[in-house]
């Protein structure tokens, strides 16, 4: 079993939709949780990072961590075609573990 599981997609949604991206994990020692966005042929860009359970909001993005269920989510409101990218979750217990990435396509 992988440390971090992420549905590879692709996920296709119409412009303006609310997008929900998710990862599950098995290691209860993970303390830091991150979401990255990667456009084709570019390095990943850090979108959000959280430390504790709960929600963290930044503009159209909301990161949610549920440590009891070992589940994290990234919500994108009012999705735009420019949000089309691969989204990677990552976690750290001193060592980093990445999900395999979910490819998102937002259709105009």
Find the binder of another protein among 21, 79, 99, 106 (CB under 8 A).
99
Asked if 42 is part of the footprint of another protein (rule: CB under 8 A), the reply reads: yes
Applying CB under 8 A, among 23, 83, 101, 104 the residue interacting with another protein is 101
Q: Shortest Cβ distance from residue 6 to another protein (Å)?
A: 9
Binding of another protein by 2 (CB under 8 A): no
Beta-bridge partner residues of 48: 35
Question: Kind of pairing, strands 45-50 and 32-38?
Answer: antiparallel
Q: 10 Å Cβ neighbour count for 1?
A: 4
- Number of residues forming the site for another protein (CB under 8 A): 21
Q: Which of residues 47-66 bind another protein (CB under 8 A)?
A: 49, 51
Which residue bears the tokens 């929600």? 55
Q: How far apart are CA 77 and CA 15, in angstroms?
A: 10
Among 75, 106, 71, which residue's Cα sits nearest to residue 91?
71
Residues of this chain that bind another protein (CB under 8 A): 31-32, 34, 36, 41-46, 49, 51, 88, 90, 92, 94, 96, 98-101
């Amino acid at each position: 079993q992988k440390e971090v599981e992420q549905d590879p997609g692709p996920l296709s949604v119409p412009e303006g939709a609310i997008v929900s991206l998710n990862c599950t994990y098995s290691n209860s020692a993970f303390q830091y949780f991150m979401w990255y966005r990667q456009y084709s042929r570019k390095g990943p860009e850090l979108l959000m990072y959280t430390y504790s359970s709960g929600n963290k909001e930044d503009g159209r993005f909301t990161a949610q961590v549920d440590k009891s269920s070992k589940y994290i989510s990234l919500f994108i409101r009012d999705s735009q075609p420019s949000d089309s990218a691969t989204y990677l979750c990552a976690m750290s217990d001193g060592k980093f573990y990445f999900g395999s990435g979910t490819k998102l396509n937002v259709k105009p």
